[in-house]
């Protein structure tokens, strides 16, 4: 309780509110514009957090992360183009509502459902994360390695069609993270005599190249223009009736629970949560025939679930350092930049800061609602910003951001190389997100792997030497099996 | 002004002609085969150069080479499996996932890459703000935009970003 009060005091500062709202605004914009992604937004603005304290920086990034989910629904509803992949389920009923002239109502439902899901998830995080952290304190080096390995199982979920390609890409990420001076022996690794590589590749530099500049390279492929008629929004009242609220109540609550459960499992993510909830709501509905033709329950279920994932993914992140998806993996990097190494000790050493972040998530969702309530028209107009204007601005941001890491133009060159790597991987159908996971988890994975083997004189039996180790091995096996089972089902369906 | 418009029209027509020539030229390839081959080469090369790139200081069995070696072996193992799988599929005349490389699109990507490299090379000699303005204008030209205010918006944004990083974030940009 004392930590909670301290956390509240730490959080209740004007800069935190300011950065949170800037983050929310940026998140909605990047989520709403098709072609721009939430990951791109977080990567672009990560350098801004260097000068901030840990709470401000996390409020800013969490603002982007949470609002991105809602932003994606705006374009899904208005122009049948989901700004984020998880808004695809929202599109199924959102766009038919727009066709019926009820776009404002659809956006209101999406906003309220997103806020509800986000708040539900934030409270779950607030009450459960400290308990999980207490359990995690009992872990040693081999357990930590298995936790990292558990984090890497998310590769199975983000590998696309081929798990083997995902593993290769993940190994590439881990390999890249090993470049530079070996922290245990001091030997240099694959630096090719270049002093700029002594400290290895900076995470931010790699991210800018892999996720931001590579998008720009792909602009040679894209060129579609989208147009939103914002005038019709002004004419609509967008009011949700009591009967509609009643209809949405149970599906929203159920979807929030589903979202939280799926959010805790690494490698699953918001897309799975929104479609799973959408299907559940449909099967439970008294009017399943309305789904796909503008059902309010459909929008509520999908939007509640995808925002309920946000707080839940932070539970494994903050307590054990396991990132649930690509965005959260970058948040993990942001924590490390602020010298907050995720894991059980985070709650011991920086308990008040952790509580401040968790309380902040509650307020982020409240402010997301307020911004959405008053700025809906503006958000709808943003979708019309031409890509020809956005692309050069993104590149300039990337170059400035990359330079700011070490004040070095070598780093900018490195981002261009990483962009090219991502482009080639895209051409040969290899996923890029596993590289990110490898990069983020690389150092901790290697350190704990080597320490464990040194402790056991090279025997691999150490990884099944304690009940926690065995439990983790089982959880890893089950998670991979669960994700693979989902993939097989998906392939069969297609 | 008219002369300038005529000049741009001429360039546009020339680009259209080049585009028309490249349009429809397609190279078909098996992405899994090419990708796995790339990773096999990567794995083999980096394993071969490992002794020169990672010098060992002691005689420990668990050393600085252990982790990278394990990763390269995993990369090689899975790449070889994918490669063999694709070869077997081709030999048995089974359906392989094929992709198309559109030359026009690749040329466009190369132009963007060249612009990025040009921007990078200009950073030190002429400074961040000026090179950013030039790059912004060049990229909008690449998109073949005729609206003058697009150029103005991007040039202004370039200056603002430079000022933001220098004044607010205290980054000493080149």
pLDDT at B117: 95
DSSP one-letter string for B96-117: ---EEEEHHHHHHHHHHHHHHH
Measured over all CA atoms, what is the biggest interatomic distance in chain B, rounded to whole angstroms? 76
List pLDDT tens digits, range A217-242. Answer: 876 554 444 455 555 556 666 678 88
CA distance B108 to chain A (A): 5
CA distance A389 to chain B (A): 6
Residue with tokens 């790059």: B135
Is the minimum CB–CB distance between A22 and chain B shorter than 8 Å? no
- Provide, as residue numbers in chain A, all residues whose Cβ is less than 8 Å from the Cβ of B174: 403, 409
> Is the pLDDT confidence value at A493 over 70?
no
* CA dist., res. A167 & res. A490, Å (int): 20
Is the minimum CB–CB distance between A80 and chain B shorter than 8 Å? no
pLDDT at B156: 94
State the Cα angle at A274 between A79 and A312, rounded to 5°: 125
**Chain B nearest-CA residue for A428:** B31
Is the minimum CB–CB distance between A163 and chain B shorter than 8 Å? no
List pLDDT tens digits, range A15-68. Answer: 999 999 999 999 888 887 766 778 888 888 888 887 888 889 989 999 998 888
What confidence category does residue B97 fall into, taking pLDDT thresholds of 50, 70 and 90?
confident
Torsion of CA A155, A158, A162, A167, to 10 degrees: -20
* CA dist., res. B50 & res. B57, Å (int): 14
State the Cα angle at B21 between B17 and B24, rounded to 5°: 130
pLDDT at A334: 79
A429 → closest Cβ in B35, B124, B143: B35
Coil vs helix vs strand at A398: helix
Is the minimum CB–CB distance between A283 and chain B shorter than 8 Å? no
- B111 with A220: Cβ contact below 8 A: yes
B105 → closest Cβ in A48, A221, A449: A221
* CA dist., res. A484 & res. A482, Å (int): 6
* CA dist., res. A274 & res. A305, Å (int): 5
The mean pLDDT value of chain A amounts to 83
* CA dist., res. A328 & res. B169, Å (int): 24
pLDDT at A186: 86
Backbone angles phi, psi at B75, to 5 degrees: -60, -45
8 Å CB contact between A354 and A347: yes
User: Which has the closest alpha carbon to A33: A222, A214, A226?
Assistant: A226
List pLDDT tens digits, range A72-119. Answer: 888 788 877 666 767 778 888 888 888 888 888 888 899 999 999 999
Backbone angles phi, psi at A408, to 5 degrees: -135, 135
Percent of chain A residues topping a pLDDT of 70: 90
- Which secondary-structure segment (H or E) carries A8? helix A2-11
List pLDDT tens digits, range A122-172. Answer: 998 888 888 777 777 777 788 878 877 877 776 766 666 788 898 999 999
8 Å CB contact between A82 and A302: no
* CA dist., res. A303 & res. A87, Å (int): 8
* CA dist., res. A51 & res. B102, Å (int): 44
What confidence category does residue B120 fall into, taking pLDDT thresholds of 50, 70 and 90?
very high
- Which secondary-structure segment (H or E) carries A381? helix A351-382
- Provide, as residue numbers in chain A, all residues whose Cβ is less than 8 Å from the Cβ of B162: 400
pTM, rounded to two decimals: 0.78
Percent of chain B residues topping a pLDDT of 70: 97
CA distance A171 to chain B (A): 6
* CA dist., res. A367 & res. A371, Å (int): 6
More confident position, A199 or A149? A199
- A400 with B165: Cβ contact below 8 A: yes
Q: Quick one: average pLDDT of B15-20?
A: 75
Backbone angles phi, psi at B100, to 5 degrees: -115, 135
């Amino acid at each position: 309780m004392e930590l909670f009060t301290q956390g509240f005091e730490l959080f209740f500062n004007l800069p935190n509110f300011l950065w949170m709202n800037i983050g929310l605004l940026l998140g909605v914009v990047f989520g709403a514009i098709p072609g721009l992604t939430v990951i791109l937004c977080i990567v672009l603005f990560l350098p801004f957090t260097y000068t901030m304290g840990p709470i401000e920086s996390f409020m800013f990034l969490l603002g982007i992360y949470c609002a991105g989910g809602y932003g994606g629904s705006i374009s899904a509803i208005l122009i049948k183009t989901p700004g984020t992949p998880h808004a695809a389920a929202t599109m199924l009923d959102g766009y038919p509502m727009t066709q019926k002239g009820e776009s404002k109502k659809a956006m209101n439902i999406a906003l309220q459902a997103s806020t509800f899901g986000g708040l539900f998830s934030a409270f779950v995080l607030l009450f459960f994360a400290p308990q999980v952290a207490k359990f995690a304190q009992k872990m040693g080096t081999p357990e930590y390695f298995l936790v990292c390995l558990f984090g890497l199982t998310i590769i199975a979920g983000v590998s696309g069609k081929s798990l083997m390609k995902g593993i290769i890409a993940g190994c590439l990420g881990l390999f890249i993270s090993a470049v530079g001076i070996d922290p245990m022996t001091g030997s240099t690794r694959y630096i090719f005599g270049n002093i700029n590589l002594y400290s290895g590749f900076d995470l931010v530099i790699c991210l800018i190249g892999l996720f931001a500049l590579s998008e720009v390279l792909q602009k040679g492929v894209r060129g579609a223009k989208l147009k939103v008629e914002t005038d019709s929004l002004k004419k609509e009242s967008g009011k949700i009736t009591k009967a509609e609220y009643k209809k949405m109540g149970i599906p929203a609550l159920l979807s929030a629970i589903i979202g939280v459960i799926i959010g805790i499992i690494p490698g699953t993510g918001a897309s799975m949560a929104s479609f799973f909830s959408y299907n559940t709501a449909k099967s439970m509905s008294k009017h399943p025939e309305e789904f796909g033709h503008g059902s309010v329950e459909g929008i509520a279920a999908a939007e509640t679930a995808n925002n309920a994932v946000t707080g839940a993914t932070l539970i494994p992140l903050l307590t054990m350092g396991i990132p649930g998806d690509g965005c959260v993996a970058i948040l993990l990097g942001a924590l490390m930049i602020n010298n907050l190494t995720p894991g059980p000790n985070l709650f011991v050493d920086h308990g008040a800061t952790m509580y401040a972040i968790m309380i902040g998530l509650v307020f982020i969702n409240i402010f997301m609602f307020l911004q959405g309530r008053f700025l809906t028209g503006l958000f709808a107009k943003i979708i019309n910003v031409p890509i020809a204007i956005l692309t050069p601005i993104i590149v300039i941001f990337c170059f400035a951001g990359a330079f700011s890491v070490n004040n070095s133009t070598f780093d900018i060159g490195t981002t261009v190389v990483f962009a090219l790597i991502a482009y080639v991987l895209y051409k040969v159908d290899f996923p890029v997100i596993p590289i990110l996971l490898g990069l983020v988890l690389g150092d901790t994975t290697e350190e704990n792997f080597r320490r464990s083997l040194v402790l056991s004189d090279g025997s691999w039996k150490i990884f099944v030497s304690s009940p926690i180790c065995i439990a983790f091995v089982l959880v890893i096996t089950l998670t991979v099996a669960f994700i693979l089972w989902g993939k097989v089902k998906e392939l069969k369906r297609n | 002004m008219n002369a300038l418009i005529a000049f741009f029209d001429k360039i546009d027509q020339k680009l259209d002609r080049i585009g028309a020539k490249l349009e429809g030229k397609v190279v078909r390839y098996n992405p899994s085969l090419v990708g796995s081959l790339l990773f096999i080469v990567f794995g083999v090369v980096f394993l071969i150069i490992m002794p020169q790139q990672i010098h060992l200081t002691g005689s420990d069995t668990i050393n600085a080479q252990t982790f990278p070696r394990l990763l390269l072996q995993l990369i090689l193992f899975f790449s070889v499996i994918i490669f063999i799988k694709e070869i077997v599929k081709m030999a048995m005349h089974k359906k392989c996932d094929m992709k198309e490389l559109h030359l026009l699109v690749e040329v466009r990507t190369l132009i963007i890459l060249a612009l990025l490299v040009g921007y990078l090379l200009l950073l030190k000699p002429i400074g961040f703000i000026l090179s950013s303005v030039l790059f912004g204008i060049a990229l909008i030209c690449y998109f073949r935009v005729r609206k003058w205010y697009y150029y103005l918006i991007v040039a202004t944004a370039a200056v603002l970003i430079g000022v933001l990083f220098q004044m607010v974030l205290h980054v000493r940009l080149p």
